[in-house]
Structure 1
Amino acid sequence: MTEQSEYDDPPPSYVESAPIPEEPAAAILKPKDARDVYGKIVSTNFAIFCAGFNDAALGVLIPYIQPFFQIGLLEISYIYLVNFIGGFTASFANIHICSHLGTGGTLVLGIVVQGTGYALMFWAPSFPVFLVAFLFTGFGLALADAQANSFTVTVRNSHRWLGILHAIYGVGTVLAPLVANTIASHTPRWQLYYLITLVLAVINASLAVWTFRHGLFKPNDAGAKSKAGRELRDTLSHPAIWFITGFFFLYAGAEITLGVAVRNGDPEKVGYIASVFWSGFTLGRIALADVTHRFGERRMVFVYTALALVFQLMFWLIPNITANAISVCLLGFFIGPFYPVGLYVLTEVIPQELHLGAIGFTASFGSIGCAAFPFLTGAIASRAGVEVLQPIMISLLIGMTVFWALIPKPGQIQLT
């Protein structure tokens, strides 16, 4: 992927003045325009931080949610199923919504919808209401995630910005178990965690409205509405999109399930072990971004997967909490870069005119994996026991490797 400007053929709503090729943003944009660009970067990064703060908390809160609603592991798995439905709907609706509201408007809509879910979670008068809340958060987070990734991939040196964006997600996942664990273990109401996420959603929406205020709730280009259906069809008909989407689907499921698949024990200690995993995950996205780009994204994903399998086996077979902490930290470190690396490779194999739609679809669909596999593993574990989690994790890592191997190289596919 060539790097020509701060934006590689960006949609008109991203930058008010056209960029000049081969110049950094500071040189080609007026101060006001540069502030607009970097303001949007801050806004999208904060949106992803909020996504991480959402995703990593549920596993820690489950030991407190179950006795509160007097439900079993199977009922808990329904949360992930409902979340899956929300994300699945958003993955197909994203292109059409964006064609009417533009990037900024769709981002704001997604944040508002997920905020509605947090309000219901905090209220939580009954388990059915708590369950319905995840339909809102699943849909809203998938929309926001799609827009944040679609925007970031247009930035010059996008492999670094994607690494930063998803490292920020990692920061959210590190803090979430710590905050959730502290609230649930030291206060009588674990629901207070969702009051914090609701406040963050309000800040998130306000920041997005301000940074995307120029052209907010307007299409990215004049013909977007008429092209939305065709763009979705072209995106879904491209063979590479399904291999990449399959990789994201399994990866996102492994990422979230690994974050909660820690050994049985004191819920307070388990929460901190989860943070160890997310800490390694975040460091990996920062430390390995340039290394991966230098030695080749395709090659390095295979290397990282092999190392991840080794540390997953160690986590499974060594019944020691210190060894578990070390192995799960290194496991997170090596799988951390997969998501931003996958998005970068997508821009190399998918035609440029399909980039925004393809990134939006895969990013939204990837979030479905965050819900689908915890649901499946929870449903299986409720009948076969929690010992099935580790073999499932091994299978997910192997499946990711297969999908990654099937992704074609740039120019390999010629569509008629």
Structure 2
Amino acid sequence: MASHFAAFLEVESSSPVTSPATVLRHDERLTTASSTNHEWIELQSSGSIVQRPGSFASPPPDLENLHPETGSALGEADVPLSRPDSTEIVPSLYYPAKNKWRAVSASCILLAQGLSDSAPGALIPYMEQNFHVGYAIVSLIFVTNAVGYILAAPLTYWLENRLGRSRTAMISQLSVLTGYLIIVCKAPFPAVVFSFFLIGLGSAIILALNNVFLANLTNSTELLGINHGFYGVGGTIAPLIATALASKGVHWTFFYIINLTFAAFNLIYSGWAFQGYEKDMPLQALNGQNQDAEQRAKKNLIGRALKTKATLLCALFVFAYQGAEVSISGWIVSFLIHYRNGDPAHVGYVSSGFWAGITVGRFVLSYPARRLGERLAVFSLVVGSVLFQILSWFVPNIVGEAVTVAVIGLLLGPIYPCATVVLNRLLPRDIQTTSLSFVSAMGSSGGAVAPFVTGILAQSVGTVVLHPVCLGLYGLMILAWFLLPQRSRRED
């Protein structure tokens, strides 16, 4: 490997350097003791080289007396030179080559999840009519969906460790497909409630795996923003399609034929895309598996994850975030019908406007958020969401309400990708999958508990309770974000 890099280096020092300059990945940027701009571009596009420092085979040159221009020297901000014991390749979207197809698979899966998660908001009024149930009972679909996410937290690592990434992805999509099949067959309400458990279980498994995959690539903030932007695309078009079908007399369950088709496609495509993943991405796939038996026996990954402050606080943050997101998506239509005298055939499109805002936010604001700094960006976006939530509470007409709800979606959009990147930087690699699975489970729990509580309260005081519930959740987000550790504690 040293001979490969030697071709790119020009050493003018009288004492030749036998090992190449160290290249480190830090906050999505590359720093190096000696390299040209051309070399930086090549390394970023094809995968960054990270060399871990070790001991010198022979005494190192006098680093303090050398100059940066020689290629053997260090300036004040340079990285100390040392002979590496091992070399790691930090992967990118294009390296290994199959990563781009894996990213496409992750985007297709989140597109389908967006279709699934946003549809109930437009379909709840029709489900209530079909099964003759009220707000509180129909909210059980959110609860069982969350139970599936919670159960997935300990299962995800176990499945991947024994079956590999490809088979685990296929199992997750098989669970999702089974859930949609139950709905399409016009099953009774208890079976529909169970189907949302299967959908949540499969969605949580693949979401955690894909988040870990993308968060460890170069430019991860933008990649996660784009990936979760496809979730917003699905969330935008689902209420449009669902409202158009249901308002014309088509049975609401037929909408899920679309989701069933996506699940069948993703089952096959994700299985193909992640074949050979363990060979291509050993640092991600084999962390925690390449230790000896004694070390594995001593390590309880779930216990370690749950004892990590960053995991717990980020889980609380995502719990509140998804609680607010799903509450708005699920209950804004009912609020407009009962408090703004909206027509169900038209106000269902307001939910699409909310998801369109999330989509635009993730595609457009993720890059500025990284430039500003994910921590500051998230705080600013949550504060903006608070202001527009208050505004939407008191706007007296449907058009104004639709605009403010769309802006809330725009501000909420980049928050989840940014939070995932921040958490990923704070965690040792061997507990990333377990921690992100737990965070996803807590997020879905928030996406179930908050809408469920909103439905219970709406049963007695009306759907106007949506707004104070969301404001309380925003406050919880701000608190958890401020308490999050400031420095990385990786133990790579």
TM (normalized to structure 2)? 0.76
Partner of 2:300: helix, strand, or coil? helix
5 Å-filtered alignment, 1:123-202, equals 123-202=185-264
Report the secondary structure of 1:191's partner residue: helix
1:224 aligned residue:
289
Give the aligned partner of residue 275 of structure 1: 352
Q: 1:286 aligns with which of 322, 342, 363?
A: 363
Q: Paired residue for 2:135?
A: 73
Q: 1:19 to 1:359 in 2, by over 3 A?
A: farther
1:398 and 1:120, CA in 2 relative to 1: closer, same or farther beyond 3 A? same
CA-CA distance at 1:383 after TM superposition: 2.4
Who is 1:13 aligned against? Answer: none
Report the residue type matching 1:151 in the other structure.
F
**Greater per-residue strand proportion:** 2
Q: Deviations over 1:102-123 (max 9, x none)?
A: 2332222111101100000111
Aligned to 2:303: 233
Match of residue 370, structure 1, among 422, 442, 447: 447
Q: Deviations along 1:155-207, whole A, 9 cap, x unmatched?
A: 11111101101111110100110111111112331110111111110011111
Partner of 1:14: none
Query: CA 1:353 to 1:272, structure 2 compared with 1: closer, same or farther past 3 Å?
Result: same
CA 131–295 in structure 1, closer or farther in 2 if over 3 Å, else same: same
Matches of 2:167 and 2:406 in 1, distance apart?
37
Q: Is the 8 A contact 1:377 1:389 kept in 2?
A: yes
Residue matched to 2:119: 57
Distance 1:322 1:197, change over 3 A: same
- Give the AA of the match of 1:175: I
Can you list the C-alpha shifts for 1:316-370, whole angstroms capped at 9, x where unaligned? 1111111111111111111111100000101222223322332233233322222
Judge conservation of contact 1:235–1:358 (CA < 8 Å) in 2.
yes
Are 1:353 and 2:433 an aligned pair?
no
Alignment of 1:106-117 (within 5 A): 106-117=168-179
The partner residue of 2:381 within 304, 327, 337 is: 304
Tell which has more relative contact order, 1 or 2 (C-alpha 8 A, sep 6+).
1
Task: Give the Cα separation in 2 of the matches to 1:348 and 1:120.
Answer: 40
How many Å separate the matches in 2 of 1:146 and 1:9?
25
Structure 1 counterpart of 2:419, from 334, 337, 342:
342
**Matched letter for residue 98 of structure 1:** E
Whether the aligned pair in 2 keeps the contact of 1:100 and 1:224 (CA below 8 Å) is no
**Matched residues in 1 for 2:222 and 2:158: separation?**
29
Deviation at 1:23, TM superposition (A): 8.9
Could you tell me how far 1:273 is from its partner in structure 2? 0.5
CA offset at residue 307 of structure 1? 1.1
- Alignment counterpart, residue 155 of structure 2, candidates 93, 100, 104: 93
SS in 2 for 1:155: coil
Residue identity matched to 1:299: L
Aligned residue in 1 for 2:105: 43
Q: Is the 8 A contact 2:145 2:200 kept in 1?
A: yes
- Whether contact under 8 Å (2:232, 2:356) holds in the other structure is yes
Find the aligned partners of 1:231 and 1:407 in 2 and give their Cα distance: 21
- Note if contact 1:50-1:200 (Cα within 8 Å) is conserved in structure 2: yes
CA separation of 1:322 and 1:237: change in aligned 2, threshold 3 A: same
* Residue equivalent to 1:327: 404
Aligned partners of 1:48 and 1:148 also within 8 Å: no
Letter in 2 for 1:396: L
CA contact (8 A) 2:169 2:206 kept: yes
1:92 CA drift (Å): 2.5
Q: Residues 49 and 89 of structure 2 are in contact (CA less than 8 Å); yes or no, is this contact kept in structure 1?
A: no
* Percent identity of paired positions between Structure 1 and Structure 2: 31
8 Å CA contact 2:236–2:353 kept in 1: the answer is yes
Residue aligned with 1:224, SS? coil
Amino acid paired to 1:242: L
Question: What is the Cα deviation at residue 50 of structure 1?
Answer: 0.8
Unaligned runs of 5+ in 1: 11-17
Q: Mark the structure with the bigger radius of gyration.
A: 2
**Which residue matches 1:318?**
395
Query: Which amino acid letter does the alignment assign opposite residue 387 of structure 1?
Result: V
| Cα distance change on mapping 1:365 and 1:108 into 2, 3 Å | farther
| Length-normalised TM-score, structure 1 | 0.89
Higher share of residues assigned helix: 1
